[in-house]
Amino acid sequence: MEYAAYRFKFNTPVHFGERTLKSREMTFSADRLFSALCIEAVKESGERLNELLTLAAENKLLFSDAFPYAGYDYFFPKPIFSVKRQNNDEDIKTRKKFKKIKYLKIDKFKGYLAGEESAENLKLPEFGKESVKTSVKVEHTIDPEPYRVGLFTFNENCGLYIIVGYEEGKTSIKNLFEDLLDRLTFSGIGGKRSAGLGRFELLPGKIDDETKTRLTGNFNTYMTLSISLPTDEELRTAIEGATYLLQKKGGFVASVDYADEWRKKRDAFAFAAGSCFHNKFNGRIMNVGDKGNHPVYRFLKPMFLGVN
């Protein structure tokens, strides 16, 4: 496959999180991006939606989760496995510092995996600030009702980026994706878009040589860069020697054509980004709708990064 990176420069605060309106997260996962792209595709035509679904189902188009960047520095999730540190005399406070680190710069990967990096060298920049906004729901038939929305506001020169993989030599696939992503800049991504949240500018990203090698080379251990779930046939082989974190995915169906009222998606458990495997798998696209007017798709296909 060929790979390209895209940066999201947010012009407004964002609301990412699925548990409650008050929940606030800095990043979003590949399944959220795919759902948003499906909505943009169906606005154009049913044929465009089917084209997007087919490319994704056949592994001709893959997406990573969104990860933070600061200036020209790009960050990946920390691999979910224990690393034997060179200094065996570390105290509990130092171990806690390592545990709090969620992301690594790509140029720190080799040293981190060898147990040579200190917690101070891996310290993350301030990407932005969390906050909670109180709003009021006003309807003519009931009394005004306050509610709180969790927000994240990125600092200047900080934002999120994604990596996209597409079938080698097929620029038409890349063009289709870029067209849908460009449409998404007007709609925004995340929750409470009707209130103006999640608006962004799309900027080109860069994939350095080490990242490209880890994306395309052969390794004995691979970290997934996207939330993913093997098919039933793949599951037994996939989890052999794997170290992973399960993540529950839920939320409401965003389509206004799905039902007369807001409906929840069926819950799904999948491997979080950063989970590590010895055996690659293709993953799946699940229909998580429940008695609505059309299918609701959750993208659970992995993009792998070598982490020997």
Lowest mean pLDDT among 128-142, 160-174, 189-203: 128-142
Given a contact cutoff of 8 angstroms between Cβ atoms, the answer to whether 167 and 173 are in contact is yes
Domains observed in the chain: 2-216 (3.30.70)
- Residue 115 CB neighbours (<10 A): 12
Lowest mean pLDDT among 3-7, 8-12, 117-121, 185-189: 117-121
Q: Is the pLDDT of residue 252 over 90?
A: no
What is the DSSP code (8-state) at residue 283? -
- Going by DSSP bridges, is the β-strand pair 200-204/222-224 parallel, antiparallel, or unpaired? unpaired
Amino acid 15: pLDDT: 85
Amino acid 96: pLDDT: 80
Q: What is the pTM of this model?
A: 0.88
> What is the distance of C-alpha 108 from the center of its chain?
21
As a whole number of angstroms, the distance between CA 21 and CA 36 comes to: 19
- Going by DSSP bridges, is the β-strand pair 103-105/73-77 parallel, antiparallel, or unpaired? antiparallel
Amino acid 267: pLDDT: 80
Residue 97 identity: K
Given a contact cutoff of 8 angstroms between Cβ atoms, the answer to whether 50 and 148 are in contact is no
Who wins on pLDDT, 92 or 55?
55
Who wins on pLDDT, 266 or 111?
111
Mean pLDDT across the chain, nearest whole number? Answer: 86
pLDDT, tens digit (0-9, with 9 covering 90-100), for 235-249: 999 999 999 999 988
pLDDT, tens digit (0-9, with 9 covering 90-100), for 38-66: 989 988 888 999 999 999 999 999 999 99
Going from the C-alpha of 226 to that of each of 97, 114, 230, the distances in angstroms are 25, 24, 12
Amino acid 198: pLDDT: 85
As a whole number of angstroms, the distance between CA 265 and CA 290 comes to: 7
- Going by DSSP bridges, is the β-strand pair 246-249/67-70 parallel, antiparallel, or unpaired? unpaired
Q: Is the pLDDT of residue 114 over 80?
A: yes
Amino acid 110: pLDDT: 85
Lowest mean pLDDT among 72-81, 138-147, 157-166, 267-276: 138-147
Amino acid 190: pLDDT: 85
Amino acid 271: pLDDT: 96
Reading the block at residue 47, the tokens are: 């044929």
As a whole number of angstroms, the distance between CA 134 and CA 195 comes to: 13
Q: Is the pLDDT of residue 143 over 70?
A: no
pLDDT, tens digit (0-9, with 9 covering 90-100), for 198-238: 899 999 999 999 999 999 999 999 999 999 999 999 999 99
In which band, very low, low, confident or very high, does the pLDDT at 94 lie, cut at 50, 70 and 90? Answer: confident
Give the DSSP letter string of 109-132.
HHHHHTT---TTTTPPP--EEEEE
Lowest mean pLDDT among 212-216, 261-265, 266-270, 276-280: 261-265
Amino acid 209: pLDDT: 93
Over residues 186-194, the mean pLDDT reads 84
Amino acid 229: pLDDT: 96
Q: Is the pLDDT of residue 106 over 90?
A: no
As a whole number of angstroms, the distance between CA 176 and CA 50 comes to: 12
Over residues 16-37, the mean pLDDT reads 83
> What is the distance of C-alpha 238 from the center of its chain?
21
Q: Is the pLDDT of residue 291 over 80?
A: no
